[in-house]
Structure 1
Amino acid sequence: MDKKSKALEKNQAAKVAVIMGSDSDFPTLKSCIKLLKDFGVEVQAMVCSAHRTPDKAAEFAKNAEKNGIGVIIAAAGKAAHLPGVLAAFTTLPVIGIPIKSSTMDGLDSLLSIVQMPTGIPVATVAIDGAENAALLAVQILSGLHPELRAKMKDYKKKLAKKVEEKNNDLQEKLKEI
C-alpha cells in the first residue's frame, strides 16, 4: 500500500457494519449499536440472511471495504452461517455473535460460528455477546484510529471504578454482619 492510500485510510471515519440474520435479532444487537455510537463509530445496520438472501450477503461483503467499512459484526441464530458467509467474501475482520435460539439455548449458533475452516477466520463472542462484539470492533479499529484507543482506556477505567465502588459497598455490608 502506498503512502497516499495509508493517509486516506487514516482519515476515513471508523465504520462498522452490523448485520443481522433476522429482525428478531435487533433487541440483542441494540446495545451493540448504541455502544459503537457512544464511542463515535459510524454504524451501518441491516438484515441479510445467509440462506434466504445469499447473493445480497456476498455482494455486501465483497463491497464492504470499498464502502468504508472497517469491521463487520454479524449476528445469527440456529445454523448461524451468516458470519462465515460474510467472512468468505472479504478480508475485513468479521466478528460473529451467536444468538440464543429456542434450540439448544444458542449452543448450536455458537458452534456454527466458531468452527470455521482454516483461512476464513471469524472472531466469536459469547452467546448474545453484543456489547463485547462492539468493544472488540472498537479495539480492532483503534489501530487506525488512536482516538478510539484513548476512549477504550477511559471505558476500562470506568469499569474498574464500578468494581471498586461495589467492593466498597460490600465492605460496608460486611461490617453489619
Structure 2
Amino acid sequence: MKPLVSIIMGSTSDLPVMEKAMKFLDDMEVPFEVNALSAHRTPDAVEKFAKEAAGRGLKVIIAGAGMAAALPGVIAASTTLPVIGVPIKGSAFDGMDAMLSIIQMPPGIPVATVGVNGAMNAAILAVEIMALADASLAEKMKNYKDGLGAKIEKANKDLAEVKYNFKTN
C-alpha cells in the first residue's frame, strides 16, 4: 500500500500535535507516511523529498512547523502537490509566529494554512482535496460531516435536560 498523504514535521517534538492528523487519516483509511525533516537542519533532504513526492504517488503533503515555520513553504517551493501547513505553538508567541510565517508565502508558492495546532483540520482538508477524485473518500467525508451535526443535535437534547430555576428552554 503506497501512501497518499505525507505528514512531515520539523522535529519529533511536534508529534503530539501531528498525531491528530494521523488519527483522522487512519480513521478514514487513507494510507499515509510520517517523517521528520527540517528546513534548516536537513535542507537537502527536504528538497529531495519535495521534488520526488508526486512521482511517488503522494497526493497531499501536510507539514507542521513551529517558530520560523519555513518547512511548509520550502516544501511547496519544490513540488506541485498541495501543501497544507500546520503552525505549531511554540513558547514565545503561542504559534502566531509560525502561523504568520506559513501564511505569508510569495505569489506562486501557496501553502494552505490551518489554525495553530490544527493538524486534524489539515487532515480533513487533505481528505476533502482527494475526495474530489475519489467517490469512496467523498462518501466517508459526507458521513463524517453528518456525524458532526448529529453530535450537536445530541448536545442540544442533553442541554434541554439541564434544569435551573430560571432556565427557560
TM-score by length of 2: 0.95
- Give the percent of matched residue pairs that are identical in Structure 1 and Structure 2: 52
2-structure distance, mates of 1:13, 1:146: 19
Aligned match of 1:85: 74
Mean alpha-carbon deviation: is it higher for 34-43 or for 76-85?
A: 34-43
Counterpart in the other structure of 1:73: 62
> What residue number does 2:139 align with?
150
The one-character-per-residue Cα deviations of 1:2-21 (angstroms, maximum 9, x if unpaired) are xxxxxxxxxx9671000000
1:98–1:127 CA contact under 8 A, matched in 2? yes
C-alpha separation in 2, matches of 1:74 and 1:49 = 10
Report the equivalent of 1:52: 41
Structure 1 letter corresponding to 2:57: G
Deviation of 1:143 (Å): 1.6
Q: How far apart are residue 83 of structure 1 and its match?
A: 0.2
Partner AA of 1:154 in structure 2: N
Q: Gapped runs of 5+ residues in structure 1? A: 1-11
5+ residue gaps, structure 2:
none
Q: CA deviation at 1:26?
A: 0.4
SS in 1 for 2:55: coil
Give distance in 2, aligned partners of 1:69 and 1:112. 25
Mapped partners of 2:97, 2:18: distance in 1? 19
Cross-structure match for 1:161: 150
2:117 and 2:123 map into 1 onto residues whose CA distance is 12
Match of 2:110 among 121, 144, 148: 121
For each residue in 1:90-133, what CA deviation from the matched residue of structure 2 results, as whole angstroms up to 9, or x when unmatched? 00000000000001000000000000000000000000001100
* Number of aligned residue pairs: 166
Aligned equivalent of 1:132, options 116, 121, 128: 121
**Structure 1: distance between partners of 2:163 and 2:94:** 37
Q: Distance in 1 between matches of 2:106 and 2:163?
A: 51
Give distance in 2, aligned partners of 1:149 and 1:15.
15
CA distance in 2, matches of 1:46, 1:38: 19
Q: Partner letter of residue 10 of structure 2?
A: G
More helix by share: 1
